Amino acid sequence: MHIHMINKNQFESDLEAAGFSRQADDIIGKMKEYVMEYAASSERFLIETQTVMNEYKAVVCAMFSTMEIAGAKKDEKHVEFEACTVWCE
């Protein structure tokens, strides 16, 4: 199955602005795994990953949504990044 993130540049830019650009690959991997195994069309979902920043535990959360695109192939899913949030403990 091919998973296409419609606005990957915005996702990477938002993570970089928050200081967590290194977590992009981990979040994308978890997003693709979720979409392949669980996601229905037109669904919103949250992906979380934990990391350490300045000796604090941080949780990076990214909200995505799957989209139905007219003319898309059956083995193709389209995902849109919506927002990211960071919590530090």
Directed axis angle between helix 8-18 and helix 24-37, to 10°? 140
Domain ranges of the chain: 2-88
* pLDDT computed for residue 84 by the predictor: 95
CA-based nearest residue to 45, from 25, 30, 26: 30
The stretches of the chain forming alpha helices (DSSP H) are 8-18, 24-37
Read off the pLDDT of residues 32-89 as tens digits, 9 standing for 90 and up: 999 999 887 789 999 999 998 888 899 999 999 998 888 888 888 999 999 999 998 7
Strand ranges inside 23-75, DSSP E: 44-53, 56-67
Stronger pLDDT, 70 or 9, i.e. the higher one? 9
Mean pLDDT over residues 5-11, rounded?
Answer: 96
* pLDDT computed for residue 41 by the predictor: 76
* pLDDT computed for residue 38 by the predictor: 87
d(CA 69, CA 41) in angstroms, rounded, equals 10
